[in-house]
Amino acid sequence: MDKVVHSAAEAVEDVAHNATLAVGGFGLCGIPSVLIGALLAKGVTGLSVVSNNCGVDDWGLGLLLRERRIARMTSSYVGENKEFARQYLAGELEVELTPQGTLAERLRAGGSGIPAFYTRTGVGTQVADGGVPWRYAADGTVAVSSPAKEVRAFGGVDHVLEEAITCDFGLVRAWKGDRHGNLVFRDSARNFNPLCAMAGRVGIAEVEELVAPGEIAPDDVHLPGIFVQRVLALTPEQAADKRIERRTTREA
């Protein structure tokens, strides 16, 4: 039952080339930055990553992107990463843009054993009709585009069928966790983290504070340990190393 590993390298040791990853976080809030750094050091390539966004140019998943480690992204927002835009438009990166709520539900469905679901989001747009550019060719033409999806009416209202997402690994960051993998997320850092852990066949969590089993009250658990196979306890320095995506201030 003790799921604690001794290093970030050990936590990701079996992440291979061309693996699929669900990575928690929203912007730079709640991202598993230490595990991402371990993947960067490991040198794996050809990764297919599902995450709300792709970090920024010099932090988070942006570090893997900069080194050409990511082949495909499934995201809902990518506006803060210039290198992401450059690779996508140059045909170096395949991108599946997904409505944010749909992305969250696809991850939750994957972790819950639900193969697909219907939603009104995207009906009457290219999300349902197909044709969204996934990959460009070097000459700027569309090399790969999204397929059309099934649309079905319920109560006289059209809904589009969306398939669940599962990945080889789910990488997340938690505020507190115990040695059995039960996790607690703090405030908005909860975001996509529980969903990404659920969607990964192997859930890997870096935790800012490691506690003994039983110290987290059952009602306080945000993600039960059944979804987490490895727990990495961060050092105080690692836990404090958090970036602000965009700092805005005014004169006193």
In the chain, beta strands by DSSP E: 4-5, 20-23, 47-50, 70-75, 94-97, 116-119, 133-136, 142-145, 151-154, 157-163, 167-178, 183-184, 200-211, 230-233
**pLDDT tier, 243 (very low <50, low <70, confident <90, very high otherwise):** confident
Q: What are the CA-CA distances from residue 26 to residues 29, 32, 63, 74, 172 (Å)?
A: 5, 11, 16, 14, 11
pLDDT above 90 (res 50):
yes
Question: Across all residues in the chain, what is the average pLDDT?
Answer: 96
Q: In this predicted model, what pLDDT tens digit does every residue of 100-149 receive, in sequence order?
A: 999 999 999 999 999 999 999 999 999 999 999 999 999 999 999 999 99
Indicate the domain borders of the chain. 4-115+164-240
Measured CA to CA, the distance from residue 252 to residue 250 in angstroms comes to: 6
Give the 3-state secondary structure of residue 154. strand
pLDDT above 90 (res 72):
yes
Q: Is the dihedral of CA 215, 226, 219, 165 positive or negative?
A: positive
Superfamily of domain 4-115+164-240: Glutaconate Coenzyme A-transferase (3.40.1080.10)
pLDDT above 80 (res 99):
yes
pLDDT for the residue numbered 247: 79
